[in-house]
Amino acid sequence: MPFIPHTSQDVSSMLASIGVAEIDALFDEIPAHLKSGSLTALGAGLNEMQVARLMRDRAAQDTPLLNFIGAGAYEHHIPAAVWELATRGEFYSAYTPYQAEASQGTLQVLYEYQTMMASLTGMDVSNASLYDGASGLAEAMLMAVRAHKTSRRILVPATVSPFYRSTARSIVKLQDIELVEIPYDRATGTVDMAALAQHAGTDFAALVIPQPNFFGALEDVDALTNWAHANGGLAIALVNPLSLALLKPAGLWGDNPHPNPLPGGEGTNAALRAPVGADIAVGDGQPLGAPLSSGGSYFGFMCCKQALVRQMPGRIIGRTVDLDGKQGFTLTLQAREQHIRRAKATSNICSNQGLMVTAATIFMSLLGQDGLRRVAAASHQNSQRLAALASGIAGVSVLFNTPTFHETVLQLPKPVAEVLANMANAGILGGYDLSADYPELGNALLVCATETKTEEDLQQFVASLQAAIA
Amino acid sequence: MPFIPHTSQDVSSMLASIGVAEIDALFDEIPAHLKSGSLTALGAGLNEMQVARLMRDRAAQDTPLLNFIGAGAYEHHIPAAVWELATRGEFYSAYTPYQAEASQGTLQVLYEYQTMMASLTGMDVSNASLYDGASGLAEAMLMAVRAHKTSRRILVPATVSPFYRSTARSIVKLQDIELVEIPYDRATGTVDMAALAQHAGTDFAALVIPQPNFFGALEDVDALTNWAHANGGLAIALVNPLSLALLKPAGLWGDNPHPNPLPGGEGTNAALRAPVGADIAVGDGQPLGAPLSSGGSYFGFMCCKQALVRQMPGRIIGRTVDLDGKQGFTLTLQAREQHIRRAKATSNICSNQGLMVTAATIFMSLLGQDGLRRVAAASHQNSQRLAALASGIAGVSVLFNTPTFHETVLQLPKPVAEVLANMANAGILGGYDLSADYPELGNALLVCATETKTEEDLQQFVASLQAAIA
Amino acid sequence: MLIFERSHPSRRNAAQAPQAMAAVNIPAALLRKTAPLLPEASEMDVVRHYTNLSQKNFSIDTHFYPLGSCTMKYNPRACNTLAMLPNFLARHPLAPAHTGQGVLACLYDLQEILKEVTGMAGVSLMPMAGAQGEFAGIAMIQAYHASRGDTARTEIIVPDAAHGTNPATAVMCGYKVREIPTNADGDVDLDALRAAVGPQTAGLMLTNPSTLGVFETHIEDIKHIIHDAGGLLYYDGANLNAILGKVKPGDMGFDVIHSNLHKTFATPHGGGGPGAGAVGVAARLLPFLPLPVVAKLPSPTSGRGVGGEGAVEYRYLTEADLPLSIGHLSAFTGNIGVLLRAYIYAKMLGADGMHRVAEFATLNANYLMAELQKVGYRIAFPQRRASHEFIVSCKPLKDATGISAMDVAKRLLDKGYHPPTTYFPMLVPECLLIEPTETESKETLDAFVAAMKEIWDEAHATPDLVKGAPYSQPVRRLDDVKAARELDLTWKA
Amino acid sequence: MLIFERSHPSRRNAAQAPQAMAAVNIPAALLRKTAPLLPEASEMDVVRHYTNLSQKNFSIDTHFYPLGSCTMKYNPRACNTLAMLPNFLARHPLAPAHTGQGVLACLYDLQEILKEVTGMAGVSLMPMAGAQGEFAGIAMIQAYHASRGDTARTEIIVPDAAHGTNPATAVMCGYKVREIPTNADGDVDLDALRAAVGPQTAGLMLTNPSTLGVFETHIEDIKHIIHDAGGLLYYDGANLNAILGKVKPGDMGFDVIHSNLHKTFATPHGGGGPGAGAVGVAARLLPFLPLPVVAKLPSPTSGRGVGGEGAVEYRYLTEADLPLSIGHLSAFTGNIGVLLRAYIYAKMLGADGMHRVAEFATLNANYLMAELQKVGYRIAFPQRRASHEFIVSCKPLKDATGISAMDVAKRLLDKGYHPPTTYFPMLVPECLLIEPTETESKETLDAFVAAMKEIWDEAHATPDLVKGAPYSQPVRRLDDVKAARELDLTWKA
Ligand SMILES: Cc1ncc(COP(=O)(O)O)c(C=O)c1O
Ligand SMILES: Cc1ncc(COP(=O)(O)O)c(C=O)c1O
């Protein structure tokens, strides 16, 4: 029996100890007419050799092409040590670290992770992960509403990923939270400040500020943060964690002291109330060591100002001491969580994305501050070079005149779907077609070139694009 | 600097401690004119991302075809746990277990391995591995010569793998050991007993007995062992370890009491001197968890009768107790080895194939006695079925009329090289062409179908063979 | 030691990043001025640090881990190896469907498998954990009532034994929670339930077997009460391990179920996740399934999809296909890597294996319950069959010796066992919720009983020894109060 | 507990073998009658057993491991991951060359890299460890003399400081061994060497830097003495790490060298192997290289090999190409997996990286030597530069306190360090041969010095404490005498 070690002798002596004649007797409390028949749709079990063959055949049906799609999931080099270590049985097959003494490995990793993420984002604290960036954004919205107390409206620029906007909407709408779309400037591909200004004085809980935004463009985060704070809302930073190796951390955005006293309770004190910065920073940790994997597993991260820590959803690890005064780590602030607070919890989240976070922690440790910066800069440079090469093709131009991180929008002379299909035939995934989400942009293609791309790859992209539009 | 952690500050303070001004001063004992210039033929270093791309490209140039070649290296299913565990850093990056207290993990694995191999082969003891089966056969010959004392001739049937014969010859010829070839019977593909009988009464140290032999055929091991013993030589069993799940273990071959007193010294006592059986059993452990890998790493195993243990080459692990009387494991009988006995050692072997043995031990534990038997039986059945199907093709026949384990020889109506080239174009590795090593057999093809082959695979083989000879 | 303490400024781990720092063409005002606090350590020091840290964990791969409600069964290593085949890892989520026919076929097949074992009409694999599965389920109930214009239903009924995620989920979906008590047998109090239902009832969330480790005997009465009131039935299937192959929630009349694939389908817990909380629905909820769902269609183009005659192509269904869907719950497609692992596991079990899971999980639980009772431990519901798990109450032990459930738990660490779940469910005082799972052998259970017997004896003979436990771990008991009072959540240089 | 003690008759691990037992069509006389002693354990128990066993090892990935002569440097994990790409693992050794152009290209490139760093004219990668590399080298010397009809050369000269494999190898190749003493500076005694050479001299085996951790200063005199006598020079390159990128054995006039890729090229030791002992030769030995050697040739067929213009094809050279070869040393092609790892490592280092290896290995060794001398330890050759390693003699410490080199070694285990090599080379009494390698940081070396200082102090203050060490390991000191006297080499049921 696969994975079941019982011999028939074991079974008899166990049944005798229980005092029943057969295993089926153990199910005698289930109404007989409810018992299942055979699971006809399932075939016979395969042994590992057979399933290995099946999966290798299936994997062979997935055809990896040279990839220039980003749009929220980024191809980066992942050091081999990351997954060789993260899949060690002691990390891989452990549960949530409820028994701290027997889980110091996982707990210390998470504490290190919290330190790294708080520092990357420039925030005071971090939780131990959420499901992904998009659902994390929803959690940030709910948190902002809890913190703000009086408003249930969130301003969301159209430059936020459409995937994130739709996910957040699915989640927050059930609590009657309204998402108000802020349009973008057609020249810059960033938030239209004039349109935003029209919301001054209205009641809103938070403004979401994406950096870089879905077009890869860099927003004027200082102005946006200041605007949110000046108008009585929180600033929710939505950031790519890799970009933060280069970009101003969310905790330092803007320069206006926060206007309305933040809630927070016991832990709040004046010294902790930084005068600047976004209040919450969220995003997807995928660039930190998660393979693309058709979309998951990735992980959501969330950091915030100290004053908001008790409003945060998810697990939080704290450092403390043991009976002998020795340093140790443990789950803390559990009173926020569903298993204690139940209906009054900050969220229903229970399991998070622990193993992805372990991988991310190892990833960041292997890269170090300098390595992460170099990867970010190389990605930036590659996408700049790609844009320059592509706009050398007649009929192709760069759509927005704005600094970008590692993604950019190209305007094509032909419908994008058709161009992409041609490029795919040549072995290239040419980018993400913006025409469904942003029809007003016409034939707009979002392209991304990370540090994984060589000059030859870029040339291959350009040649195939040229051929595809010819 | 890849893998070198020194900062420039570290370097200065270390140089100061040593009392030199620069690193180069540490090389001042090397004659200046011998110092290397730049290593021009080596390019610049690649980072891990670049080398990963290089290796993935290289791997993509290796084209895996549906494989029916055996001939000494066998495709078997390897449970995923085998290499997930064997490549854990604690096994992977440890040295030979010289410091027993800090190496109980590796030492216990090796002790378990010795137990499993001794039991599989039916011998008293096992060493902790040799390089591979072929060089292991050479070591067995040297050991037999040491044990026999008076003769330097070894009888080697032509049914022993030509790869093994040539390797063994390369190694033993330098010690003036003569390998005498024993022909095979053209009808059975096994040792020609009449030809062998002609060596009765001559001086020889050992007879090598392959089971199964290179043709996949099963030798009359009882008769051969009896013959060797009756004629004053040792019997060296050359066995496929997987086949031993089904086949009579070498330790039980034959039934003649050993005629001439075996050497052995202190450890020898009558009770340990089994009246039957091969004296030494060797072979390649590859079927026990080593991937094909273009030929390596595999490992050689060697087992023997207790009386011969002090003649054995290689590491041996023993169980003992510690200061507190607690069970523990340690390298033992080191006085046989080069690091103690130097020029008088039983062999020059130092590093062996430790990690492959760790993998094999895990492999055998996962399969268990029953699993190993089923794998062996399924391999046997598949090759029987393949032979039956193939001999249904006009012009194709099974060459030898002898029981086989999981390999068999087909006679083709056309030159084998041509047939194989055609089959390879259809995605099939059709087997091993015997015509160079055994020209007397004509168009003879050695084919193997292990448990990894499905009925569909077998049909595909047959269809492509049919097409290739059409 | 923290990784930051192994860091040394200006040390560089050169193998993992481009050698040269590329030019950055971004205005200075948008750039960061100080480096983030990431360690500067050598690759070897990082490998050594995390290898050593990993050894400071109990895990299934190293210890018996009978954590109730968590189903810590063996996570087959093949599931990991095969789910990490390079082609699976390399594919971008927005790559066209024809480049992903392999992975999509796996997901489709997994949907079908889950439909079969749960008895539901449709499945979406997208929820990323049990709690998100619950969210999806309750959101579908909400959408269902809304689609019928039935907007007065503002309450979700939850038994008091429910897992904390249930009430928390109901609130996240905008509902009020009404709690129902449990009777002395561990079943839902039917009178209380009858009194609670009404036109305000949107639905009931039921865990079955419940977190008390018993099968809800009045399941059919409950169904009628809720359905008659116009509510829908939500099945928290985190404990599906207890009934897999034995009874199907669909057959019990449930409208929606989530199943924790990281429990019943043996995907790893990873020290906290990722999980997968697939949802299955009865026919009337099909239009509301979360996106995307994988469909198998006749291949529109030759040469793509799985070729040959009757060729098919797999693709995701989107808003266009399911306009009433509750929508997306993640940016892309949930925890695909976890789903692949669950699929591989399901394929290895097959029909026979599925039937056996509940049988042996239940056998192990009942055996352990019987043996611990013989030692002297008080079983919370001795008159009931254990399902996959059961509860020991240490209340009598504590009254007699001062030794609490937590003390027993900590002492188990010294004996080499991960403790059961402690103090959950809250209904039973000083409780230990014990779930051995089907993958543990009788020898392991017997050794665990022996350890529990030792602790029983120690509790009576040398209670202080037990109160001071653990002694064998990297740390002794930690000061949780200090952790929460003097928050130290990040390391400062 | 042994895996056999976790076994239970008739338990079956069903996932790893065909479900049904196939029919066996083999005469009964050839079949085995009793089952072999293999454990019958569940997959989980096996995984748990070996995971727990692994934790009972010191290794580079967990501990500083300054084992002299063994070059325990970091084994980059990428080398493992990339060498285990599925296509590399799947290929049969007898598959045609066109199905292995990728792996063959790697092997060819590695040959070229080794030629460059050793300064030799040709390389064969086939020897499966250092000792087999030595065998290949001495066999080539034998073949060379034989090919010239020079059959009187029956002796190989070996300095007394040599590694045990050197004399053992010479004997395996049919030679007599003549040992030469070492002088007070750790160099070969030139007068003794001059007296030893003659027409019987087939060659000299020299380890340089020697196992004493010093560079042989009279290397050129030695070369002349041997060559003038008609002998050939064998270079034991196990210690190549000390000179990589600094000096090439070929430039020193050596005729043949083996290099331990599992040391200098960072492939893992695997608890004892597999290794790879590639041999390099000067031009006059090229015809004798062991088989196979990889050649790069113009592509004979289009569409195969590495395509495009100037297409090439890689293939193995065989007896037909190299009729004077000493032949095969393994059934197929040596330890290819190890060679791939070495190749990946070499590509990551590149020219610059190679130059740095010896520099930093030497810096670390000399620094550690200086610091340990400051603590009070006696350095064996204080007048010399350390190469990659150096020797501490605990003789004075033992005379003063009774604490031996072995006591120091065992006490280091309690401090979390793998001990240095003990009692080798045999020339130096109570010796510790210490090789830190270039991949360890100054912090680690400093912490090791601090531990050695603690032991120094303990040796003087509480010698019994040191003599009883280790206390922190799974076992205390083992009874080696009992192990050898009462042989227990296999478990009996
Ligand atoms: C009964 C029950 N429901 C729901 C959950 C929540 O599942 P998850 O942690 O995957 O969100 C759990 C997990 O502990 C559970 O035991
Ligand atoms: C100097 C020297 N020569 C030769 C060898 C033998 O190498 P291997 O163990 O790979 O056979 C060693 C290994 O310890 C060594 O240190």
Per-residue pLDDT at B275: 62
Does residue A280 share a domain with residue A405? Answer: no
C307-350 confidence digits (pLDDT tens) = 566 789 999 999 999 999 999 999 999 999 999 999 999 999 99
Average pLDDT of chain A is: 94
Which residues does residue A446 pair with via DSSP β-bridges, in sequence order? Answer: A409, A432
| Tally of CA atoms within 13 A in the half-sphere of C132 that contains its CB | 36
Decide which of B341, B360, B379 is a domain's last residue.
B360
User: Per the CB < 8 Å rule, is A49 touching B88?
Assistant: no
Task: Name the residue among A47, A56, A85 with its Cβ closest to that of D17.
Answer: A47
Contact between chains at D11 and A7 (C-beta distance less than 8 A): yes
Interface test with C, best of D48, D89, D360 (most C CBs within 10 A): D48
Proximal ligand: closest to the CA of C159: 1
- Asked whether residue B378 is domain-assigned, the answer is yes
Nearest to B397 by CA among B409, B385, B407, B406: B409
From B130, B339, B350, B353, give the residue whose CB has the most ligand 2 atoms within 8 Å, as the site to mutate. B350
Domain count, chain B: 2
Q: Is residue A442 part of a domain?
A: yes
Q: Residue B257 has what pLDDT?
A: 54
| A329 and A420 together in one domain | no
What is the structure's pLDDT at A459?
98
Provide the token pair at A167.
Answer: 């996910």
Task: For residue A52, list chain B residues with Cβ-Cβ distance below 8 A.
Answer: 77, 80
Mean pLDDT, to the nearest integer, of C149-178?
95
pLDDT in tens, B187-211: 999 999 999 999 999 999 999 999 9
Over residues C403-416, mean pLDDT: 98
CA–CA gap between residue C75 and residue C439 (Å, rounded):
10
Check CB contact under 8 Å for A4 and C360. Answer: yes
Helix (H, G, I), strand (E, B) or coil at A280: strand
Kindly state the average pLDDT of the residues A404-413. 97
Distance from CA of B141 to the nearest CA of D (A): 12
Which string of b and e fits A89-113 if b means at least 16 CB within 10 Å?
A: bbbbbbbbbbbbbbbbbbbbbbbbb
**Pick among C13, C57, C324 to test the A interface (most A CBs inside 10 A):** C57
Complex confidence, ipTM: 0.96
Q: How far is CA D29 from CA B224, B226, B403, D33, in A?
A: 14, 15, 12, 9
Tokens, residue B266: 């202190």
Residue C304 has pLDDT above 80, yes or no: no
Nearest ligand 1 atom to alpha carbon C236: 3
Check pLDDT > 60 for residue A174. Answer: yes
What is the mean predicted confidence (pLDDT) over B446-467? 97
3-state helix, strand, coil in chain D (%, to 5): 40, 15, 45
- Kindly report, as residue ranges, where domains of CATH 3.40.640.10 are found in chain C: 77-347
- Tell me the H-state helices in A173-220: 193-197
Q: What's the pLDDT at B261?
A: 45
Q: What is the pLDDT of residue A355?
A: 98
Place of tokens 């004027």: A220
C45 touches chain B (CB under 8 A): yes
Q: Select the residue of A19, A89, A131 nearest C61 (Cβ to Cβ).
A: A89
Does the pLDDT of residue A421 top 80, yes or no? yes
Q: What is the mean pLDDT of residues A115-125?
A: 97
Class of domain D356-467: alpha beta
Q: How far is the CA of C239 from the centre of ligand 1 (A)?
A: 9
Residue B337 pLDDT: 83
Q: Do A80 and D76 touch (CB under 8 A)?
A: yes
Nearest by Cα to A445 from A215, A213, A163, A287:
A215
Residues C376-404 have a mean pLDDT of 97
Of the pLDDT bands very low, low, confident and very high (cuts 50, 70, 90), residue B13 is very high
The ligand 1 atom at the shortest distance from the C-alpha of residue C129 is 10
Q: Are D220 and D394 in contact (CB under 8 A)?
A: no
DSSP, residue by residue, B399-431: ---S-BSSEEEEE-SS-HHHHHHHHHHTTEE--
Count how many pairs of residues, chain B against chain D, have C-beta atoms within 8 Å.
Answer: 697
**Chain segment C43-95, per-residue pLDDT in tens:** 999 999 999 999 999 999 999 999 999 999 999 999 999 999 999 999 999 99
Q: Please state whether beta strands A66-67 and A428-429 pair in parallel, antiparallel, or not at all (unpaired).
A: parallel
Phi-psi category of D248—alpha, beta or left, where left has phi over 0 and alpha has psi -120 to 50? beta
CA-based nearest residue to D242, from B37, B414, B29, C293? B29
Nearest to A1 among D14, D51, D80 (CB): D14
Averaged over C424-433, what is the pLDDT? 94
Same domain for B332 and B430, yes or no, is no
| Lowest-confidence segment of B343-357, B393-407, D292-306 by average pLDDT | D292-306
A373 is a domain residue: yes
Neighbouring subunits of A (3+ Cβ pairs under 8 A):
B, C, D
Q: Are residues B71 and B88 in the same domain?
A: no
B38 pLDDT band (50/70/90 cuts)? confident
User: What integer best gives the mean pLDDT of chain B?
Assistant: 94
Question: D240 C-alpha to center of ligand 2: Å?
Answer: 11
**Span from the CA of B46 to the centroid of ligand 2 (angstroms):** 29
**Residues B326 and B420 both lie in one domain:** no
Asked whether residue B172 is assigned to any structural domain, the reply reads yes
pLDDT of C303 over the 80 cut: no
**Between chain C and chain D, how many beta carbons pairs sit less than 8 Å apart?**
62
Of D67, D69, D422, best ligand 2 pocket probe by most atoms within 8 Å of the beta carbon: D69
CA of C183 to the centre of ligand 2 (A): 74
Q: Quick check: D18 pLDDT over 80?
A: yes
Contact residues, C window 48-107, toward A, CB-based 8 Å cutoff: 49-51, 53-63, 65, 67, 70, 72-76, 78, 80, 82-96, 98-103, 105-106
Measured distance CA(B357)–CA(B106) in Å, rounded: 10
Please name the chains neighbouring D, where neighbouring means 3+ C-beta pairs under 8 angstroms.
A, B, C
Model confidence at D307, pLDDT cuts 50, 70, 90, reads low
Domain assignment of residue B107, yes or no = yes
A378 and A424 part of one domain:
yes
Instruction: State the closest ligand 1 atom to the C-alpha of C69, by its place in the atom list counted from 1.
Output: 16
Confidence of residue B263 (pLDDT cuts 50, 70, 90): very low
| Chain D interface includes C441 (CB < 8 A) | yes
B225 phi and psi, to 5 degrees? Answer: -65, -45
Q: How far is CA B158 from the centre of its chain?
A: 19
CB under 8 Å to A33, separation ≥6 — which residues? none
**Half-sphere CA count of B155, side-chain side, radius 13 A:** 31
Q: Are residues A139 and A202 in the same domain?
A: yes
Q: How confident is the model at residue B46 (pLDDT cuts 50, 70, 90)?
A: very high
Q: Please, are residues C228 and C196 in contact by the beta-carbon 8 Å criterion?
A: no
Residue C182: pLDDT above 80?
Answer: yes
D406 touches D423 (CB < 8 A): yes
Contact by Cβ (8 Å): A139, A311: no
Instruction: Please give the average per-residue pLDDT across B382-411, as a whole number.
Output: 96
Indicate the pLDDT class of residue A275, thresholds 50, 70 and 90. Answer: low
Smallest CA-to-CA distance from B290 within B280, B300, B302 is with B300
- Closest Cα to atom 9, ligand 2: which residue? B351
Quick check: C81 and B2 CB within 8 A?
Answer: no
CB C311 within 8 A of CB C302: yes
Q: Measure A286 CA to ligand 2 centroid, in angstroms.
A: 45
- Spatial neighbors of A1 by CB under 8 A, at least 6 apart, are C353, C356, C360, D12, D14
Mutate to test the pocket of ligand 2, among D69, D165, D234, D269 (most ligand atoms within 8 A of CB): D165
pLDDT tens-place string over residues C281-290: 999 999 999 9
The span from the CA of D307 to the CA of D304, in Å, is 6
**Chain B residue closest in CA terms to D269:** B95
pLDDT at position D231:
97
Alpha-carbon dihedral angle through residues D449, D451, D452, D453, given to the nearest 10 degrees: 90
A350 and A444 share one domain = no
Please tell me whether residues A349 and A413 are part of one structural domain: no
Do B332 and B385 belong together in one domain? no
Question: Mean pLDDT, to the nearest integer, of A228-247?
Answer: 97
Long-range contacts of A259-264 (CB under 8 A, 24+ apart): A259/A229, A259/A230, A259/A232, A260/A232, A262/A147, A262/A305, A262/A307, A262/A308, A263/A147, A263/A149, A263/A307, A263/A308, A263/A311, A264/A147, A264/A306, A264/A307, A264/A308, A264/A309, A264/A310, A264/A311
Neighboring chain C residues of B3 at a CB cutoff of 8 Å: 15, 42-44
Query: pLDDT at position B265, please?
Result: 37
List the single range of B145-149, D302-306, D430-434 with lowest mean pLDDT: D302-306
User: By the 8 A CB rule, do D42 and C438 touch?
Assistant: no
Instruction: Check pLDDT > 60 for residue A272.
Output: no
Around ligand 2, the residues with Cβ closer than 6 Å are B 350-351; D 69-70, 129-131, 163, 165, 207, 211, 236, 238-239, 260, 275, 277
pLDDT tens digit sequence for C205-231:
999 999 999 999 999 999 999 999 999
Residue B266 pLDDT: 34
With a CB cutoff of 8 Å and minimum separation 6, the contacts of D71 are D238, D239, D241, D260, D263, D264, D388, D435, D437
Q: What is the 3-state secondary structure (H, E, C) of B227-291?
A: HHHHCCCEEEEEECCCHHHCECCHHHCCCCCCCCCCCCHHHCCHHHCCCCCCCEEEEECCCCCCC
Least confident piece of the model among A330-339, D341-350, D451-460:
A330-339
Are residue A157 and residue A183 in the same domain, yes or no? yes
Domain limits for position A239: 80-360
Which residues of chain C are in CATH 3.90.1150.10 domains? 356-467
Find where tokens 């168009």 sit: B443
Amino acid making up residue D92:
H
A335 and A455: one domain?
no
Going by pLDDT thresholds of 50, 70 and 90, the confidence category of residue B2 is: confident
Looking at the CA of B349, which ligand is closest? Answer: 2
| Chain D residues lying within 8 Å of A362, measured CB to CB | none
Task: Provide the CATH number for the domain formed by D77-347 in this structure.
Answer: 3.40.640.10
Q: Residue C434: beta bridge partners? A: C67, C390
- List pLDDT tens digits, range A292-318: 999 999 999 999 999 999 999 999 999
pLDDT in tens, A82-119: 999 999 999 999 999 999 999 999 999 999 999 999 99
Judge whether C309 is closer than 8 Å to chain A, CB to CB: no
Question: How far, in Å, CA of C296 to CA of C312, rounded?
Answer: 6
CATH number, domain containing residue B418: 3.90.1150.10
The pLDDT value recorded for residue D493 is 79
Which domain-ending residue is among A360, A379, A408?
A360
Nearest residue in B to C13, CA atom: B2
Residue-level pLDDT at A340? 82
Q: Please give the pLDDT value at position B27.
A: 95
Beta-carbon contacts of D5 under 8 Å, excluding residues fewer than 6 positions away, are none
- Of residues B77, B87, B88, nearest to A48 (C-beta): B77
Q: According to the model, what pLDDT value does residue C309 have?
A: 61
User: Residue A313: which CATH number?
Assistant: 3.40.640.10
Among candidate residues A337, A360, A383, the one where a domain is terminated: A360
Is there a domain that residue B350 lies in? yes
Q: Report, as an integer, the average pLDDT of C17-32.
A: 94
Grade residue D306 by pLDDT with cuts at 50, 70 and 90.
Answer: low
- pLDDT at residue D304 above 60? no
